[in-house]
Amino acid sequence: MRRPYRVLVSVAGICCLAAAAGAVPVNTAQEKLLAATEEGRKSILTGYLARDKVTCTGVNKTFYQGSDHKGNAFWNLDCSEGTSYVIQIFNNEINSTRSYDCVRLKEVTGGTCFTKFKQQ
């Protein structure tokens, strides 16, 4: 005789283990960026800069630095005006963003753009 409740208990146990392990929810904006072409990424990321009232009329390159333990993603852009930026894309329901000039970032935090994060 089969006991279906064992399957239910096993599935519930797996769900609890994933939650206990601190599984980070998916950052939907990050997933879109990873799936996009380079031209698509340039468009999406300059849109984020515009939201933060930063002008970047042309993008020479984009660079994914990595994500933190909360699932926040960090992307860099090299703009044709000669300024580079890091964009933090928060892992929240509205995918809010914050932009920093790379020179200012280095002055304030010592952080650098266009460098991959070290794996933790």
Report pLDDT for 25. 85
Q: pLDDT digits over 38-89, tens only?
A: 999 999 999 999 998 999 999 999 999 999 999 999 999 999 999 999 999 9
Report pLDDT for 21. 52
State mean pLDDT over 17-31.
72
User: HEC string of the chain?
Assistant: CCCHHHHHHHHHHHHHHHHHCCCCCCCHHHHHHHHCCHHHHHHHHHHHHHHCCCCCCCEEEEEEEEECCCCCEEEEEEECCCCEEEEEECCCCCCCEEEEEHHHHHHHHCCCCCCCCCCC
> pLDDT tier at 114 (50, 70, 90 boundaries)?
very high
- Is the pLDDT reported for residue 15 higher than 60? no
Contacts of 118 by beta carbon, 8 Å cutoff, 6+ apart = none
> pLDDT tier at 118 (50, 70, 90 boundaries)?
confident
In whole angstroms, how far apart are CA 45 and each of 15, 48, 61? 34, 5, 11
Report percent pLDDT > 90 for the chain. 73
Total-model pTM: 0.78
> Cβ distance 114 to 108 under 8 Å?
no
